[in-house]
Amino acid sequence: MNDENQVRIGLIGAGAIGSFHGASVARRLHGAKLAAICDPAPGAARRLADTLGCRTATSEVEAVIADPEIDAVIIAAPARFHSALAVEAARAGKAVFCEKPMALTLEEADQVISAARKARVALQVGFNRRYDKAWAEARRVIAAGELGTPQLLRSLTRDPELADPARVPPWAIFLETLIHDFDTLRFLNPGAEVVEVYAIADALVRPDFKSRGLRDTALVHLRFDNGAMACAEANFQAVYGYDVRGEVFGSRGMLTMGDVRTSSMTRFGAGGTGSDTVRLNVDLFHDAYTAQLAAFVETVRAGDNAVTDPAAPRGEDARAALAIALACIRSVEEGRPVRVEGAPGVAG
């Protein structure tokens, strides 16, 4: 680490979420410096670097990972590249912040976890809802026993628009969208693991793309090893705005989190009542996205070789959420409830 005790970060991926993370490092985080940006698309890294005042822009990922002056990387490339990039970065001695999903198979997830352990570098995954004020407070209440025993949980994600269905990877609704909800449900039921799922999914928004593998709507029932039951749902086109909510019902009451509205202000007029709604995920979870990177930076600055923040999603959390997502895919394909690999009583 440099003399100023700043964490020098290399950003891999200059797309929408990569650009937001880059701006967070460059403009919103103390103790961090955006040292390099990498993206294979011609000119993408340079354009973002010029906007953020970053000197180094390249299309060669090896140049970033091999740079001895870089302490950590943020991986915001497409999901299919996450695990390989994370393994390579860890082996090079870089702390790794990887966007979800960390991997697309359990074998890949194990490789990432193993590489980080062997290299003794921090590994954190981008499940940002853990850093939202409402979700974090709900976890505190539940962990303290104030809600009693969790019995019913619910988590949902609805995107505002399915603009380009041709670019949606197969099973993305589980692997890239609902994987957030699976992590959230585990986060809100501390110490418990999902043992079984029953999932249904279809192309209800764009049925003309179903033959190409698109599933834009899904509903999942989940059962935990502590007896709690949960429901997760997703849809790729909520015309009213970005909608992410959660609910936990326990023996002593209920908690709810999330609001599609930009504020609690409601307008009353001749045409009825209404509220403005959020259109972008980075607006809905702006502070949470920033807070998760702040926690990662502090871990690296402290010289920790493992993520010690109890709220931080680690490699093992990413693997557990992935196991649920993969079980959901099997459930849809086979039309039956499926046990989650690695869950208690399940060989994995």
DSSP class of 79: G
- The whole-angstrom distance between residue 333's C-alpha and the CA centroid of its chain comes to 25
Residues ≥6 apart with Cβ < 8 Å to 287 = 131, 132, 133
Distance CA 337, CA 310 (A): 32
Residue 254 has phi, psi (to 5 degrees) of -145, 150
Q: Is the pLDDT score of 142 beyond 90? A: yes
Write down the pLDDT at residue 3: 47
Tell me the C-alpha distance between 54 and 143, whole Å.
41
Mean pLDDT calculated for residue range 15-32: 96
The fold of the 132-283+322-339 domain, in CATH, is Dihydrodipicolinate Reductase; domain 2 (3.30.360)
| Share of residues in the chain with pLDDT > 90 (%) | 87
CA 26/CA 7 separation, integer angstroms: 11
Q: Using pLDDT thresholds of 50, 70 and 90, give the confidence band for residue 4.
A: low
Summarised one tens digit per residue, pLDDT across range 36-56 is 999 999 999 999 999 999 999
Q: Give residue 1's pLDDT.
A: 52
For residue range 304-346, list pLDDT tens digits in order. 777 777 789 999 999 999 999 999 999 999 999 999 998 654 4
Which tens digits make up the pLDDT trace of 63-88? 999 999 999 999 999 999 999 999 99
Q: Does domain 7-129+287-314 have CATH number 3.40.50.720?
A: yes
Task: Give dist(CA 157, CA 169) in Å, integer.
Answer: 17
Q: What is the pLDDT of residues 253-280, one digit of tens each?
A: 999 999 888 888 899 989 999 999 988 8
Residue-wise pLDDT for 204-244, tens only, equals 999 999 999 999 999 999 999 999 999 999 999 999 999 99
Find out whether 161 and 112 touch, Cβ atoms under 8 Å.
Answer: no
What letter represents residue 213's amino acid? G
The residue to which tokens 């979800």 are assigned: 100
* Predicted pLDDT at 135: 96
Domains of the chain, by residue range, sit at 7-129+287-314, 132-283+322-339
> What pLDDT does 310 receive?
78
End-to-end CA gap in the chain = 39
User: Following DSSP, what letter does each residue of 98-143 receive, concatenated?
Assistant: EPSPS-SSHHHHHHHHHHHHHHT--EEE--GGGGSHHHHHHHHHHH
What number is the average pLDDT over the span 179-203? 98
Per-residue pLDDT at 343: 65
pLDDT computed for residue 242 by the predictor: 94
Q: What pLDDT was estimated at residue 5?
A: 83
pTM for the whole thing?
0.94
All residues at 6 or more sequence positions from 4 whose CB lies less than 8 Å from its CB, including other chains: none
Q: What is the pLDDT of residues 90-112, one digit of tens each?
A: 999 999 999 999 999 999 999 99
